[in-house]
Amino acid sequence: MSDTPLYLNPDLDLNKRLQDLLGRMTIREKISQLWHDAPGIPRLGIAAYNSWSEGLHGVARNGRATVFPQAIGMAATWNPDLIQRVADVISTEARAKYHAALKRNGKTDIYQGLNLWSPNINIFRDPRWGRGQETWGEDPYLTGTLGSAFVRGLQGDDPTHLKTAACAKHYAVHSGPEKLRHGFDAQASLKDLHETYLPAFKALVQDAKVEAVMGAYNRVNGDPACAHPYLLGKVLRESWGFQGHVVSDCWAISDFDGPHSYTPNPTESAARALKEGCDLECGCRYTHLLEAHEQGLITEEDLDRALTRVYTTRFKLGMFDPPERVPYASISPDVVGSKEHADLAYEAAVESVVLLRNKNNLLPIREDIRSMFILGPTATSVEVLLGNYYGMNGKLTTLLEGLIGRIPEGVRTEYRTATHVLHETEAHTSWIFKEAAKTDVVIACMGITPHMEGEEGESIDSAENGDRTRIELPEVQLNALRQLSQAGARTVLVLTGGSAVALEEVAELVDAIVFVWYSGQEGGRAVADVLFGDRAPAGKLPVTFPKRTEDLPDFQNYGMAGRTYRYSEVEPLFPFGHGLTYGQVELSDLQVPEGLQEDQSLQISLQVSNPGPHDITEVVQVYVRHTEAPFLVPLQQLVGFQKVTVPAGSSSTLGFEIAAEQLKAINEDGEAIWLQGPLELTVGTCSPGQRGLDLGATSPLTARIAR
């Protein structure tokens, strides 16, 4: 008879293996495994394991890795297939680095594990929030669709083992202000919860089977998110059927007896979090669980429930199986930063570029130009490639390097910084703008940087604990553009950033604007290829660009009234879903049913034609509006989209099936209701509204469907 413990037998039922292992642990050992930095248990052959690792847009904070565009940039691709392939590469590199760390050290340190605490699927409700760059934008459906693709890529498709364990964060109602996050009580109605703040989490739990959910720092309607009876118990576990584990944001449970004043001491903080469903703590309060157990505040059953969830993930990651039984255990470190992965980073960067404005079709830049001037504070910046939560790579290509590598030989080219990103300097620079204006085209590389937005404590320039107080382009940069305009320059503005920038005056000073986000290691090459027409821009805004800061509601108000394209009645400068390309498709022959029965999905089709001489890649977007709702509903609601390439001179037929759930409206009690009365449908290349048409969007198709 074999002496192998049951928990090490990969042929047994997982539950039997778990129960066998838990039965061998002492109370102290069980508690220690609920810490993010879990010590080893040598007598059981368990290595020390740190659960804190990051994979937001590449393996982060662990040396060399492929650096993809920041999450908000990937959101601008509107391409779920691409996002899944990116996440698959991230998990491949995480696997390679994990096994290399184990081989070298016999354990994993922080950022070396397989629990990747990504994606961040909080709704980017306000452009002042510094961490909005980590999100997938302002729309719940887009966020849920792209976030689910990311999770599938991270976790893999093996029926038994996870490639890595993804984590949906920060649950819930969390999107600034950063300086208040440790003590803030976000007040959100049941309607806003279930219409805006929770749908993406629901999609990741039910559709993508995300393995972990991270609780936020803040309170929600009085209770801390990491010990929230309604959010963790009733919604996440009971209603959605979540089977994975819940982890706290780092040191969030310490806030219970700190800024929240929710519990009287650390012991009760730990007990409350565990009892309400937080299984794993990132922080230090769970070191008090032994005291909580001795005081009768928690039971061993409470510990076993949490440990079963945490260790289910570790078993699914293959940590207790022979390497030959784990399909991902043999991934070589040679794949990290490989050419194949770099090529995918390039594709993602190209697809993330959003052409906001193109006066007189200045772009693409003509091959017959004779002179060019490149200027601006972000042209040589590595930081604007990286964003935050980033890895590093020896082949980071700045905007200047990308442009110089692409400019045809024989084109006279000069470069000057010309202006600081934020602060005025004493240098005399007015001559630079006059000289620049003498060339055929000026490429002005400007925008915001990670020094100006980010997580609490990360940003150093003009940021309030990571958040911006104003969203306009800094005055020093705006003044440089004024001088270029006065000198008569033909200017292409290449803007970096992780969130919307108010560009009302800027749009009148330049001829073309491309927004390139924080574009990753291949950003310079990708942007240059788009500017010269080797690749056409195909990105779409995942957030609204307001005209001015004053158009925004109170930052601390979590009500959705007046926010995002779904509820704001203030005309934006650049609307959600906007993005131009080199050419324009035509939409026609929209086919819709005469009526819909309750809980029936909606099937539609249309023709997409390209009358021009070049292939076009376009995102066709479907929006609905409930025209006779008896309660407040969104002005428009994205319910479907497809990214399609239409060859020159040809047409394609697109079909959409919109799930019945997407056609319901959320009432004041947070319930999804099938309404009677007409449903207004709009299919276009931008969110509905006159502003999109004024900017060059294709004329949309509309229909009214009876219910």
For residue 704, the SS3 value is strand
From 249, 321, 347, 522, active-site residue: 249
The active-site residue, picked from 453, 455, 511, 529, is 453
- Give the Cα separation of 509 and 326 in Å (integer): 58
Q: Which long-range contacts (CB under 8 A, 24 or more apart) does 6-13 make?
A: 7/320, 8/45, 8/320, 10/320, 10/321, 10/322, 10/325
Q: How many CA atoms lie within 13 A of 370 on its CB side?
A: 2
* Reduced 3-state DSSP string for 273-307: HHHHCCCEECCCHHHHHHHHHHCCCCCHHHHHHHH
Strands 37-38 and 679-684: unpaired
Number of other CB atoms surrounding residue 652 within 10 Å: 17
Contact present, 576 and 139 (Cβ < 8 Å)? yes
CA angle 186, 188, 191 (to 5 degrees): 165
Kindly tell me the burial class for residue 222, based on how many C-beta atoms sit within 10 Å of its own C-beta (0-12, 13-18, 19 or more): exposed
What is the distance between the alpha carbons of residues 307 and 301, in angstroms, rounded to a whole number?
10
Mark whether 351 is an active-site residue.
no
Tokens of 277: 């469903």
- In this structure, are residues 348 and 68 in contact, taking their beta carbons and an 8 Å threshold? yes
Residues 6+ apart with CB under 8 A from 136: 71, 72, 74, 75, 119, 121, 124, 142, 143, 146, 147, 200, 542
Tally of CA atoms within 13 A in the half-sphere of 134 that contains its CB? 26
Task: With CA atoms as reference, report the closest residue to 349 among 512, 527, 500.
Answer: 527
User: CA 101, 103, 104: angle at the middle one, nearest 5?
Assistant: 65
Query: 639 near 698, Cβ under 8 Å?
Result: no
Q: Is 255 a catalytic residue?
A: no
Catalytic residues: 249, 453
